[in-house]
Amino acid sequence: MILIVDDKPENIFSLKSLLQIHAFSVDTAASGEEALRKILKTDYTLIILDVQMPGMDGFEVAETINGYSRSKDIPIIFLSAVNTDKQFIFKGYAAGAIDYVTKPFEPDSLLLKVKAFYRLSTQTKKLYQMQKALEAEIKVRKKAEESLEQMVQQRTAQLVTANKELEESNNDLQQYAFIASHDLQEPLRKIQTFTKLVMERHLTGYPEALPYLQKVLYSSGRMRNLIDDLLSYSKLSSAAPFRPTSLAQVVADVLYDLELIIKEKEAVITVGNLPNAEVVPAQMRQLFQNLISNSLKFSKESVAPVIKIDGEIITSKSFNGLPSDDGSFCKLTIIDNGIGFDNEYTDKIFSLFQRLNTRSQYEGTGIGLAIVKRIVDKHKGLINAKSTEGNGSEFTILLPLKQPEADAPSKITY
Amino acid sequence: MDELIKIILLADDDDDDTELFCEALFEVDPGVTCTCVRDGKEVLEVLSNMKESLPDIIFLDVNMPGMNGWECLTRLKEEEAFRLIPVVMYSTSSLQRNANEALELGAVGFFIKPNDFKQLKTLLQAITTSSHNSLLNSISQVPGITSKRTTSPS
């Protein structure tokens, strides 16, 4: 809307008619004071201001308009019959006008000016609105971002607490498992001791009692193995230091421990090149012990076990990793010619208490491979098992050669 | 004066184990005296009263109520009057850590309570037939014991 300020109604009338013909909406004020009051209430796009008015003259009005923040961007066209002097023209500009038209004016040229300023003002207004909208948008986004960040922080704190609680309860559980299995050994030992005592001393004349007591001994023996295995499994959670270790020596020790059963089964065991690596020596020993005794245990009835143990250094922690002397991982393989297992069970064999064979066929607690898996996990390695049922099995283990928290490599254990 | 082992002090709160121990000892050598107490505190009390005839060897169960085996062993090694009496720790625990700890604290051996009466008798046979000087050597021959001479490499 355009505001026309003039003290002469006839001037207002002619200008208003001209503008209205050209589709501008027009408001009018008959004095500077009235103009100021109207400007406070309405947003005008353009003001056409007569300079010569009684009371406030046009320049005073323009200066005041300029002082209002809501109106200082409204373009003003001064209109005057007198004051054609340049000095007055400059005064007009200083007060914030954009143009100065002297009367009598050329309607077409005034109209052109009005149109141009009108467009300019509309655009400025639009820009200003856009800027406001953008500012508001930025504010909203900032707020959202802040609250998001706050939520993330809260969530992180919650997770940290939950994690800590889990860790604690996990520790408790492991402690519990350890103590429980430890205390279970006590009564069991007594069952075994006193059963043996009765068998030795008090069975004369009662031969039929012997097989029953043998069953007691057999069962308690099985329970003892179970407890021992559980104990070793729960012990794996306690912190143990990594040390530079010769895996070849570890395997040699294990084979020495298994000497009797190896002889008994007439097993042929070949050991290839095994590297040195930063490991928990006792755990590695248990790993090989479990895997090799598994291979010995699950051998075919009439075929002597053949077990191949081999190792190589590879470039990446991948079962397809390429061999390379300066790689940072080692790949260990244990291949046997035993009864193997159905590949369908590959995922299951490393679970706790998972048994694939009946107890009458093969002794076992179902903990051995779970221990192996856990040891590999503790070393941040990978394990994988392949087999064709009835045709041997193959275990592959990947281990990093170095551990972040290893002892200083001053000496190699063993 | 290298005399044979004649007096044994046994500290164990488990009555069955104490009974078996004494029974095995009687079968091996009825001439050996065995004094039985139930915790570490009693060991120290009994020893103070025994002044004249201290035991030739002490067996300490690791897990006892009140003063346990570890504490008692430490106290014994601190007492001038008792610190030379050889101590064998025995326990249900099969932790290697415990065995090493026992030897570090000054025990002559760590023995896991056997589930076999014969094994217990073998141990007591070895002890009762040895003198003060040969004690360490004879117990190191007994299967199942960890002693200073047989500390396993792991």
Question: Do residues B12 and B38 touch, judged by C-beta distance below 8 A?
Answer: yes
Enumerate residues 6+ apart whose C-beta is below 8 A from A159. none
Tell me whether residues A228 and B94 touch, CB distance under 8 A. Answer: yes
Tell me whether residues B92 and A189 touch, CB distance under 8 A. Answer: yes
Is the pLDDT score of B151 beyond 50? no
CA distance A286 to A277: 16
Helix (H) or strand (E) holding B120: helix B117-128
Mutate to test the interface with A, among B90, B91, B92, B152 (most CBs of A within 10 A): B92
Confidence (pLDDT) at A270: 92
How close does chain B come to A290, measured CA to CA in Å? 17
How close does chain B come to A181, measured CA to CA in Å? 10
Quick one: pLDDT band at residue A52, thresholds 50, 70, 90? confident
Tell me whether residues B154 and A281 touch, CB distance under 8 A. Answer: yes
Tell me whether residues B116 and A192 touch, CB distance under 8 A. Answer: yes
Confidence (pLDDT) at A410: 47
CB contacts, 8 Å: A196 with chain B: 115-118
Quick one: pLDDT band at residue A277, thresholds 50, 70, 90? very high
Confidence (pLDDT) at A160: 93
3-state DSSP of chain A: CEEEECCCHHHHHHHHHHHHHCCCCEEEECCHHHHHHHHHHCCCCEEEEECCCCCCCHHHHHHHHHHCCCCCCCCEEEEECCCCCHHHHHHHHHCCCCEEEECCCCHHHHHHHHHHHHHHHHHHHHHHHHHHHHHHHHHHHHHHHHHHHHHHHHHHHHHHHHHHHHHHHHHHHHHHHHHHHHHHHHHHHHHHHHHHHHHHHCCCCCHHHHHHHHHHHHHHHHHHHHHHHHHHHHHCCCCCCEEEEEHHHHHHHHHHHCHHHHHHHCCEEEECCCCEEEECHHHHHHHHHHHHHHHHHCCCCCCCCEEEEEEEEECCCCCCCCECCCCCEEEEEEEECCCCCCHHHCCCCCCCCCCCCCCCCCCCCCCHHHHHHHHHHHCCCEEEEEECCCCCEEEEEEEECCCCCECCCCCCEC
Burial B104-130 (b: 16+ CB within 10 A, else e): eeebbbbbbbbbebebbbbbbbbbbeb
Q: Tell me the per-residue pLDDT of A294-331, one tens digit each, with 9 for 90 and over.
A: 899 888 888 899 999 999 999 888 888 888 888 899 99
Nearest to B92 among A186, A194, A197 (CB): A186
Tell me whether residues A185 and B92 touch, CB distance under 8 A. Answer: yes
Rounded mean pLDDT, B42-66: 87
Place of tokens 């003003």: A76
The complex scores an ipTM of 0.70
Q: Could you tell me how far CA A368 lies from the centroid of its own chain?
A: 34
Average pLDDT, rounded, for chain B: 84
CA distances from A98 to A64, A78, A117, A120, B66 (A): 15, 8, 9, 11, 102
CB contacts, 8 Å: B115 with chain A: 188-189, 192-193, 196, 224
Helix (H, G, I), strand (E, B) or coil at B91: strand
Confidence (pLDDT) at B1: 47
Rounded mean pLDDT, A218-239: 79
CB contacts, 8 Å: B117 with chain A: 193, 196-197, 200
> Which chain B residue has the Cα nearest residue A221?
B115
- Cα dihedral value A134, A135, A140, A143, nearest 10: 140
How close does chain A come to B154, measured CA to CA in Å? 7
How close does chain B come to A192, measured CA to CA in Å? 6
The percent of residues above 70 in pLDDT, for chain A, comes to 89
Q: How many CB atoms lie within 10 A of CB A146?
A: 10
Lowest mean pLDDT among A146-160, A193-207, A228-242: A228-242
Tell me whether residues B116 and A185 touch, CB distance under 8 A. Answer: no
Tell me whether residues B92 and A282 touch, CB distance under 8 A. Answer: no
Q: How many CB atoms lie within 10 A of CB A181?
A: 19
Number of Cβ pairs < 8 A linking chain A and chain B: 32
> Which chain A residue has the Cα nearest residue B91?
A186
Q: Could you tell me how far CA A264 lies from the centroid of its own chain?
A: 53
> Which chain B residue has the Cα nearest residue A240?
B97
Q: Structure pTM? A: 0.52
Q: Tell me the per-residue pLDDT of A101-140, one tens digit each, with 9 for 90 and over.
A: 877 778 888 888 888 888 888 888 889 899 999 999 999 9
Rounded mean pLDDT, B71-94: 88
Handedness of CA B117, B119, B123, B125 (dihedral sign): positive
Tell me whether residues A193 and B154 touch, CB distance under 8 A. Answer: no
Is the pLDDT score of A203 beyond 60? yes
Nearest to B117 among A188, A193, A285 (CB): A193
Rounded mean pLDDT, B34-43: 91
Tell me whether residues B20 and A186 touch, CB distance under 8 A. Answer: no
Place of tokens 């001209």: A18
Strand pairing partners for A336? Answer: A307
Tell me whether residues B16 and A190 touch, CB distance under 8 A. Answer: yes
Name every residue in B having a CB less than 8 A away from some CB of A.
14, 16, 20, 92-94, 113-118, 153-154
Rounded mean pLDDT, B82-109: 83
Place of tokens 């991948």: A318
